[in-house]
Structure 1
């Protein structure tokens, strides 16, 4: 047991008893060299158990916990004792739900070594602010469905943590103010903006102008019509290293697509989903201009056989084409394309019930290995007036975001204003 490096604890069923403090401490005593720990639905764990574990397993490098009941004290014990922690993933941590009295989390000794922080579905995720701000070597920040207004915190984070190369923002209350802040990370290579309808072309232009090393850009515009040609043309102008572009619920036209195809000569993976403006002319443009393109996904776009036929003589490096829910594209056209380009894999799902693929839940953008993916565009769309600059009450209620007391308590505000070396 002493040689054990990784341990995973998952509650088996609703009726089963989860691991508790005593069991976790026993594991920590026998596996002091433990480097990876995953906890799932361990609702018997308390702050005391996590603190005891942290003192015994100081070599921990990766911690992933979901639906556990310990709180800020337990998390801070990990951060104070595990100075080699590199990867932290927290989902639905039930012990930090009280926004009014939440104890700030971090920075701790682990802040110096942390490279990846992922926060998911946290009511009071902003209490991790001190940890994120203190993680000077942070490379990847992922924020999924965490409540509260994140613009102010992102401004502080981007001002102090400038080396980030990957940022994911999903179902988050963030606007162009947050994007402008993120543009301070000049080495940014990967950006995912998923269902953040207060982000507009203005924010994307700021990212493009300053983050010129961008390689992967995923945008799910949620059909809010706030990101379009202006933002994409800025990406085409400044982000010449772009290799992967995923657009869901965004309406690019031939103008921006042609500029992207002409300027981004390394573009290898392109997905266009739920775009009302992507038709035969746009696909023909891609076929003629995207010489490096290897994978193309088209879903729920007004494309017909004529547009798909253009791929027969275009995109010389193309190896895979996925067409889903484009009812004007026929199976005869797909067969003809396969015949003309024998090495090209063509996957056609017209959207008719008899042709539905059981694996269609990937939103039409999933590729093996998880390298080329985005989330399904199946959520109800928000009712938002185009280009509105004010915060919409209906937007906040639809996304389940609360901003009254969740900007992380008075103690966190005090930490930001002066006491940056301790949690207070």
Structure 2
């Protein structure tokens, strides 16, 4: 009994010692530290000690919705979030005038502003627009959409208050040439200008020239869309000696004269987009004086012929991207494409829509050792032989798109043995290509991502990450199994490379007799 009492007292004293020691120990848990001392608990919250700069950096990494929710946590977060917000997009209806002072008192560091109004609504007017300019003098980017109540006077006052603008974008506005010239005369740092449907310059009065202004010296990009009197921007374009990108979309009038007038002044152009313009070979020949031209888009310009491409190929040796939408006029074909293939070795991307090339020009694409992306859409002459030619010549090709062309499953067979660097193939609205062709291709090029859309009704996509291709038909499965079984294995037990296996499928006669179902389906489709 004595021994038991002594042992009990010793154990209780041990527990008391452990309890006393625990009271002075610090227990650390994520985001907080609890100090236990004489049953008094004190909580230390580290986020409140975070400097405002660090907290602002965290806010800038969040989405817009998360920022709004975080700003409601406490007054400090509301203040820091508002002062660190540099980008703001507002619904620019007329009732915004009542909130401008409150909004820009909270968001006093905005440098990128978008004002958008519903086309059927009434936008803010000159008074609200000028008040915004007084509260945001450090603006560098401005986007206006359907702000029809802003006039030339409002634009002039805004330009005087915000002289640091670098990027401007206008769409469906009603101010005119006077407002545009005010911007160009006061914003000497302007680098990018985009104008779409500026209705003030198409009010029936004589066209007033726009530009050049002090902004012409700094402009690097000009984009004009859907303008009735777009040629009035001619003085601005001609004076922009540092212009690198010129994009003209659906602007009426004859543009040959303007392009010829700037040919000897603006020679540093790198990117040119022309879409639905009245421009002929004269205008394109004038652009060929831009020896640094790398990107050229000719979209639905029916007056351009092979001569235009020949003039570009003769002088623009640095061309990397070429997009042509021939609009099925058959005025651009083998002659122009052959000149590009022979004289533009740096070509990386070629998109042909409504153009009908043949093997005569496609065979020369092998000269373009850097050609990685090729799209052939709506061509009546791109068939199985043409795809076979591309497969054998374009060894650097990585992405291939075929849409609305008379190709069949034999084209997929040709791609099996060609284009060793291919990573993605997209086939759309080619009635001759079926899911069996997809299975055939996937059997030997498993690393290639394939997207197959048959006549807009069937969409089959296969890659290495999904569950694999759909179940093949019995005929195709049997043929693939038989051929794969006959392939010799290497010394380590693995099958040889796809290139070695390809020797079995080189002959077209073999493919025709092995796949009678493909031939029958192609004939029935009229391909």
Instruction: Structure 2: state its 5+ residue gaps.
Output: 1-106, 462-527
Residue 420 (structure 2) pairs with residue 316 (structure 1): yes
Query: SS state of the match for residue 180, structure 1?
Result: helix
Contact 1:119 1:146 in 2 (8 A): yes
Residue 149 (structure 2) pairs with residue 44 (structure 1): yes
1:165 paired residue number: 270
2:331 paired residue number: 226
1:405 paired residue number: none
Give the superposition deviation at 1:316. Answer: 1.0
Contact 1:9 1:19 in 2 (8 A): no
2:434 paired residue number: 330
Give the superposition deviation at 1:336. Answer: 2.2
CA distance in 2, matches of 1:28, 1:20: 13
Hey, which of these two has a bigger chunk of helix by percent? 2
Give the superposition deviation at 1:160. Answer: 0.9
CA distance in 1, matches of 2:341, 2:164: 44
Give the superposition deviation at 1:307. Answer: 1.0
Give the superposition deviation at 1:84. Answer: 0.3
Q: Deviations over 1:98-128 (max 9, x none)?
A: 4651110000000000000000000000000
RMSD between superposed Cα atoms in Å: 1.3
Alignment equivalent of 1:289, drawn from 386, 393, 396? 393
Give the superposition deviation at 1:354. Answer: 5.2
Residue 452 (structure 2) pairs with residue 348 (structure 1): yes
Structure 1 residue ranges (4+ consecutive) displaced by more than 3 angstroms after TM superposition:
352-357
Query: SS state of the match for residue 252, structure 2?
Result: coil
CA distance in 2, matches of 1:67, 1:279: 44
Q: Which of the two has higher C-alpha Rg?
A: 2
Residue 231 (structure 2) pairs with residue 126 (structure 1): yes
Map 1:12-411 to 2 at 5 A: 12=118, 14=120, 16-98=121-203, 101-260=206-365, 262-353=366-457, 355=459
CA distance in 1, matches of 2:448, 2:295: 28
Contact 1:244 1:268 in 2 (8 A): yes
Give the superposition deviation at 1:259. Answer: 0.1
Query: SS state of the match for residue 164, structure 1?
Result: coil
Contact 2:373 2:398 in 1 (8 A): yes
**Relative contact order (C-alpha < 8 Å, sep 6+): which is higher?**
1
Quickly say closer, same or farther: Cα 1:99–1:136, change in 2 above 3 A. farther
TM-score, scaled to structure 2? 0.66
CA distance in 2, matches of 1:71, 1:316: 55
Give the superposition deviation at 1:297. Answer: 0.4
Query: SS state of the match for residue 309, structure 1?
Result: helix
Quickly say closer, same or farther: Cα 1:98–1:107, change in 2 above 3 A. same
Q: Deviations over 1:364-422 (max 9, x none)?
A: xxxxxxxxxxxxxxxxxxxxxxxxxxxxxxxxxxxxxxxxxxxxxxxxxxxxxxxxxxx
